[in-house]
Amino acid sequence: MSQPASGSPVPLGDLSKMHIPTLPGVTPEPPKSNGLWSSNPVFSYLNDVYITISEHRKSLGLTNPGTIENLNKEVSRDVFLTQYFFTGLRADLNKAFLMSPAFQTSHTLSVGSNVLPPYAFSALYATDDYFLQGNIDNDLSFSGRLNYGWDKHNISKLTLQLANGQPSMVQLEQDYQASDFSINLKSLNPSFIDGKFSGVAVASLLQSLTPNLAVGLETMYSKQAGAAPPDSAVSYVARYNGGNWIASAQLQAQGALIASFWRKVTDKVEAGLETQIAATVKPVTDSLMGTPIGFEPVVEGQTTIGAKYEYRQSVFRGQIDSTGKVSAFMEKRVLPTVSVLFSGEIDHVKAASRLGLGLQFEAAGNEQLMMMQQGLIDANGNPITQ
């Protein structure tokens, strides 16, 4: 190969092919990458800092702490009766179809309840990538939810409610689940009709500092349509997972503190405790004139303690709070496809009580699913030996 003539320009694409003389005993340095992150000194420094921090975070063995929405789910959703309590008479007929993707329907009949409609129909359809659920009642009020997972880290969510005689509601949400932190963005009834944003926007971050401790914050921005000024608030949260016990706390901008504690007592028993303390002000009026003369601080609080017992054929939940309410909920399976539901509450301060009784039927979509519900075969159709 002939060398280029002296003084003649060399094409840029041939620079790597040029023969560079070296001194005896000296090894030439490998050519450096011409990428932006390596060629620019500032970007190269930032890249090195990012890599160092990432390697240090991996060495700590951190795990994903979950979302702020599920900060105390072990207490509020698993132990307490909030998600289960009802009043009146209730009957549920659930039917699952053994297919891929999963599909399930449900009919709910209710009498004497102030919350549940007389009739409601719901359907669930799920695959590996998305989850779709809808519910409609006898008043044609509709509520639906759609979750779509782009990958194992990103999930987009859409919630829609169209209630008869009430304002409609739409919520857009985006979840990002990293190895040691979670980011959640949501917006309630967003609108840009007037050229400006109106609605509610919420952003939250929960970061693991150690394998057990996670801290985070949640910001909220609210703006109504019109000339009303916007509102904003910031809340701070913390969660500590000790294995068989979990403690969490949330300090809200309005001056409220919510603290909860969950304990795994045994394999069949769980206990939970939650305390809410709110500091507010109330106006003080003159006893003679009736005109306001100032404000005074008021501190209100409520503590609830509950327990969950899992037996072979039943689950019992009970709780008592500082206002004098004692509540209980029990689900008893009397047949492989039939369960009895019981819920009750006694308010000792108001001398009032509430009671609920229900039946839950689970009908299989085919013979194989029926045998699975009866415990005769496993998910693969293999017989189960007793």
Within-domain flag for 337:
yes
Pairing between β-strand 314-321 and β-strand 292-310 as defined by DSSP bridges: antiparallel
pLDDT in tens, 283-319: 777 777 767 777 777 888 999 999 999 998 999 999 9
Query: Which residue segment(s) compose the domain that 250 sits in?
Result: 68-373
pLDDT confidence of residue 244: 92
Q: How many domains does the chain contain in total?
A: 1
Confidence category of residue 23, pLDDT binned at 50, 70, 90 = very low
Tokens 């969490």 belong to which residue? 248
Q: Is the dihedral of CA 360, 339, 73, 307 positive or negative?
A: positive
* Across 30-48, average pLDDT: 64
The top-scoring range by mean pLDDT among 34-38, 42-46, 126-130, 370-374 is 126-130
Token pair belonging to 313: 């054929």
pTM: 0.75
**Residue among 122, 117, 120 nearest 105 (CA):** 122
Within-domain flag for 327:
yes
CATH of the domain at 138: 2.40.160.10
Alpha helices (H) along the chain: 36-39, 41-59, 73, 367-373
pLDDT confidence of residue 44: 78
DSSP 60-118: TT------GGGTTHIIIIIISSTTT---EEEEEEEEEE-SSSEEEEEEEEEES-SSS-S
Within-domain flag for 27:
no
pLDDT confidence of residue 27: 45
pLDDT in tens, 311-363: 989 999 999 999 989 999 999 999 888 999 999 999 988 889 999 999 999 87
> CA 113 to CA 136: how far, in whole Å?
17
Q: In the predicted model, is pLDDT for residue 121 greater than 70?
A: yes
Report the percentage of the chain scoring pLDDT > 70: 82
Within-domain flag for 42:
no
Within-domain flag for 63:
no
Within-domain flag for 385:
no
Report the percentage of the chain scoring pLDDT > 90: 48
Confidence category of residue 98, pLDDT binned at 50, 70, 90 = low
Within-domain flag for 275:
yes
pLDDT confidence of residue 21: 46
Within-domain flag for 276:
yes
